[in-house]
Amino acid sequence: MPATDTQLQRDIDRAFTGDDSARNALIDHACDRLVRLTRKLFHRHPDLRRWEQTDDVFQGAMLRLHRALADVRPESVRHFFNLAAVMIRRTLLDLAKHHLGPHGHGANHHTDGLPPDEPGGAVHRATDPASEPTDLEGWTEFHAQVGELPDEEQEVVNLLYYESLTQEEAAKVLGISLRTLKRRWQSARCRLHDALNPEEPT
Amino acid sequence: MTDTDRIAELLLDWEDRREHGIDVPVEELCRDCPHLIPELARRINALKATTWLTRGDDDPPSETPAPVTPPPLPLGGRYRLDMKVGEGGFAEVWKGYDLELRRAVAVKRPKPSRLGTTDRLERFVAEARRAAGLKHPGVVPVFDVGRDAADAFIVSELVEGGSLAERIVTNPPIVQESVRLVAEVADTLAYAHRHGFLHRDIKPANVLIDICPQICPQNLPTGRGDINCYRART
């Protein structure tokens, strides 16, 4: 079960005091986020969805994430969250590349999805600029663009999107005011939108 | 205040009010600074287009079933737990998958509520060692054993035919088959007895039927502890 905000807030507070058991809870939280974001990644790919949590690659990614976070000794709660978010992002990119590569499941497989050239198939799946990405390519580009944001904005996206913290929790982790956090969040979203929709008139 | 700062403040104001259901027109926001209208409008459009980033619920709507808990991490980095298939007083048995050898396996592990002492874990692992010493067609072979600080598990062949108790309910064996099944169990028990094992709970629920079909009595306790299970060939 994902932690509730209250639980997460308590875990964060305990982690601030150096409580190892709290860190384990945060690791579980990060793994939970990876599962949810992976589901999102493959949601609109019915031809890939059945692999999303049974594939060895995904299991391996979960294991690596867990081990890496358990092994590392972050300097602070802020450092921990950033590290976890970067690892989650890299894992999602790896998963997407794995499935999109020339030998990936997604390259030639349509047995349980619509044929690509039929209505609703991959060829006809258009990206709506007002909604989240609808295909693996779109998600890959999104995650890659987050990595290109200025550090301060990337950190906010890490906490709010990849780690699913509330704005209040994120502000506390970063040691900034809620207003500053909101400002960075808005700036990051505008920048991401511009990067992902370069053809739109400005 | 620079134009950049002013736009940032106006955006905060716009979003705060939008969260309360009020979509303030950009012209009204920029009443005192109309030259900022184009840039502010562009950014408001960008924020509207990225509303999906702010959703609290990351689960895709409608098409997918309710959120699931994350799958357990592979035990020992190798064995994925797919489905619990049975449990007793102390341990539970899962259908699992060996990621290295890519085959289905059975994984037995103590119930979380029964974990506690190192001594218990030691006894559990010792059970696997003793069972691994038995070599008989009716004994389910132990493939592996693993443990960490607070957990332990035994990996063995997966017998997928269900228990004799289930078989009696769904498709009762005829007399000849019943005789054969009892003979198989007896043969395996005799083998176990010769090796110092004594089953203390023989009953249909503890006899597994292989799809061959072979049968496999489970939970063979001895004076020294329990072993996993065994089976008899026809």
Domain membership flag for residue A201? no
- Looking only at Cα atoms, what is the longest distance across chain A? 57
pLDDT tops 90 at residue A113: no
The pLDDT assigned to B192 comes to 86
Mutation for testing the B interface, residue in A37, A63, A189 having most B CBs under 10 Å: A189
pLDDT 10s digits, A4-23? 445 777 777 777 777 777 77
Domain membership flag for residue B59? no
Chain A residue with CA closest to B63: the answer is A43
pLDDT 10s digits, A20-60? 777 777 787 787 787 777 777 666 555 554 544 445 556 77
Chain B residue with CA closest to A1: the answer is B69
| pTM metric for this prediction | 0.51
Are B131 and B138 a contacting pair, CB within 8 Å? Answer: no
Domain membership flag for residue B62? no
Chain A residue with CA closest to B101: the answer is A56
Q: How far apart are CA A107 and CA B7, in angstroms?
A: 45
Looking at the structure, do residues B134 and B213 belong to the same domain, yes or no? Answer: yes
B70 and A35 within 8 Å at the Cβ level: the answer is: yes
What is the count of structural domains for chain B? 2
Looking at the structure, do residues B205 and B92 belong to the same domain, yes or no? Answer: yes
Indicate the average pLDDT of chain A. Answer: 72
Percent helix, strand and coil across chain B, each to the nearest 5? 40, 25, 40
Domain membership flag for residue B202? yes
The CATH number covering residue B157 comes to 1.10.510.10
B47 and A132 within 8 Å at the Cβ level: the answer is: no
Q: How far is CA A45 from the centre of its chain?
A: 17
Residue B111 sits in which domain range? Answer: 79-229
Predicted ipTM of the assembly: 0.71
B34 torsion bin: left (phi>0), alpha (psi -120 to 50), beta (else): alpha
> Cα torsion for B164, B167, B169, B172, to the nearest 10°?
-100
Stronger pLDDT, B24 or B113, i.e. the higher one: B24
Domain membership flag for residue A202? no
The pLDDT assigned to B78 comes to 86
Residue A109 sits in which domain range? Answer: 5-196
Looking at the structure, do residues B117 and B171 belong to the same domain, yes or no? Answer: yes
Domain membership flag for residue B7? yes
What is the count of structural domains for chain A? 1
Cβ of residue B70 closer than 8 Å to a chain A Cβ: yes
SS (H, E, C) B15-41: HHHHHCCCCCCHHHHCCCCHHHHHHHH
Domain membership flag for residue A31? yes
Active site residues of B: 201
Residue showing tokens 């793994």: A31
A62 and B52 within 8 Å at the Cβ level: the answer is: no
Domain membership flag for residue B49? yes
